Amino acid sequence: MDSNAKVKASAAVVAAVLVLAGCSGGDDKNAESAAVRTSAPVSGGASDLQQQYERVVDAVLPSVVKIQTDQGEGSGVVFDGQGDIVTNAHVVAGAKRIQVTSSSGGSPLDASPVGAFAADDLAVVKVHGGSLKPASWGDSGKTEVGQIVLAMGNPLGLAGSVTNGIVSALHRTVTTKGEGSFQGSTIADAIQTSAAINPGNSGGALVTLDGQVIGVPTAAASDPQIGGAAAGIGFATPSDTVKRIVPQLIQTGKVSNSGRAALGVVVRTIVDPQSGQRSAVAVVEVEKGGGAAAAGIQAGDLILSVNGTATPDQTALSSILANLQPGQTVKVEIQKQDGSKKQVDVKLGELPGGA
C-alpha cells in the first residue's frame, strides 16, 4: 500500500448518522427581507480579506444554481459550457420534473437527467438554452487543513447563499443513508468543513479563496443529543472525484471506471434476533468471475472482517472498501453455513457504475 493509501486507510470513518444536505422541502420567501444591514469601518488585513471574499463570490456564485424538483430543492454547479450541471444524486433521485435557476435569478430552465453514480452521490443534469457560466474546478488533493473556504448554494430555499469556514479535516469516509429513491452512498476522501451546510446546500460548491471549486457539499453530521444537524460539521465530495466521475456520466450516462474497490458480492446485514445487534453481513449473491468467487466465497457465507477490521453491517463493509483500490488483495474472514470459520485472500475488483 502506498503512502497515500495509508493516509486514507488511517483516516477516521464517520460512523455517526449523517443528514443529507439536500432537497429542502420549504421556501422561506420572507427570510431575505428580514435581514438588517449594518455598516462599520474595516481596515488593514480585515479589509483585504473582505475584498477577497467579495471577489470570489462575484466570480463563482454565477456558476452555482438552484435545482428544484417535484420532490424538493437542492443546488448544482455548472460543469461546462454545454449546459451540464453537477449535483448530488440524492437531490434528483426519482425526480419526474427538474428545473434549474441561476443564482442571479431569471426564469427557471427545464433540465433533464444525464446520469448518476449513487456510490459517490453524484449526478449530472442538463439544461438547453440559457447562458450559465462554468465553474473553475480545483485540485482537492492539494487542499490543506485550516484553509479558508466558502460554501455556496441554496440552503432552505434561499438561492445564492454563501457561508464561510475552514477545511476542518481531510480523507474522511462518510456514509449517508438512503432516502426515497436514493440508495445511500459511501464517499471516500470527503472534505470536512466548518462552513455551514444546511438542507438545500447539497450539490452546491465548496470554494477556496482563489475561486476554485474543491468539493460538492453533500451531508452534515447529526447530533443525536439535539436530534438535528451538528453545527460546524459538514462534508463535501472532493473535486478530484467529481472530475473523474462526471465526464463519464456526460459521455455515456454511466460510470465504467469508478476507481472504487469491490469484493464481487451482493450482501445484506444480519441482525441478532436476541440482542438486536448487527453482527455480520451475509452473502446473497456472488458475481461470476469476481474476486470473491475465485476465493471460494459462496452465497450464504457470512463476512466477518476484511483485513482484520470487523464488518458488522453493510455500512462498515462499504467504508472499508471505499479506502481500498481495485487490484489489491485483502484477507477476508468468513463463516460457512456449517459454522466453521476461515480466512481467504480476495483480489478486489472494481465497483460497477449504473445509469
Specify whether 149 is located in the same domain as 232.
Answer: yes
The residue annotated as part of the active site, out of 63, 75, 84, 90, is: 90
Return the CATH number at 174.
2.40.10.10
pLDDT digits (tens, 9 = 90+) for 192-230: 999 999 989 999 999 999 999 999 999 998 777 776 777
pLDDT digits (tens, 9 = 90+) for 27-50: 444 444 444 444 456 557 888 999
Is 202 an annotated catalytic residue?
Answer: yes
Please state, in angstroms and rounded to a whole number, the distance separating the CA atoms of residues 175 and 328: 22
Supply 119's cell numbers. 456510490
Please state, in angstroms and rounded to a whole number, the distance separating the CA atoms of residues 281 and 119: 18
Number of domains in the chain: 2
Specify whether 13 is located in the same domain as 162.
Answer: yes
Q: Are 239 and 138 in contact (CB under 8 A)?
A: yes
Specify whether 197 is located in the same domain as 268.
Answer: no
Name the residue range of residue 340's domain: 261-350
Torsion of CA 206, 74, 226, 185, to 10 degrees: -80
Top pLDDT among 157 and 54 is at: 54
Vertex 306, ends 301 and 310: CA angle to 5°? 85
- pLDDT reading at 14 higher than 60: no
pLDDT class for 23, splitting at 50, 70, 90? low
CA distances from 173 to 112, 268, 283, 290 (A): 30, 20, 23, 25
Number of Cα atoms under 13 Å in the Cβ half of residue 339: 0
pLDDT digits (tens, 9 = 90+) for 219-259: 998 777 776 777 899 999 999 999 999 999 999 999 999 99
Residue 326: inside a domain, yes or no?
Answer: yes
Is 90 an annotated catalytic residue?
Answer: yes
The residue annotated as part of the active site, out of 140, 202, 239, 319, is: 202
Return the CATH number at 308.
2.30.42.10
- Predicted pLDDT at 19: 57
Q: Which of 238, 253, 284 is the last residue of a domain?
A: 238
Question: What average pLDDT score do residues 170-194 get?
Answer: 92
Residue 185: inside a domain, yes or no?
Answer: yes
Q: Which of 175, 204, 238 is the last residue of a domain?
A: 238
The residue annotated as part of the active site, out of 120, 121, 301, 313, is: 121
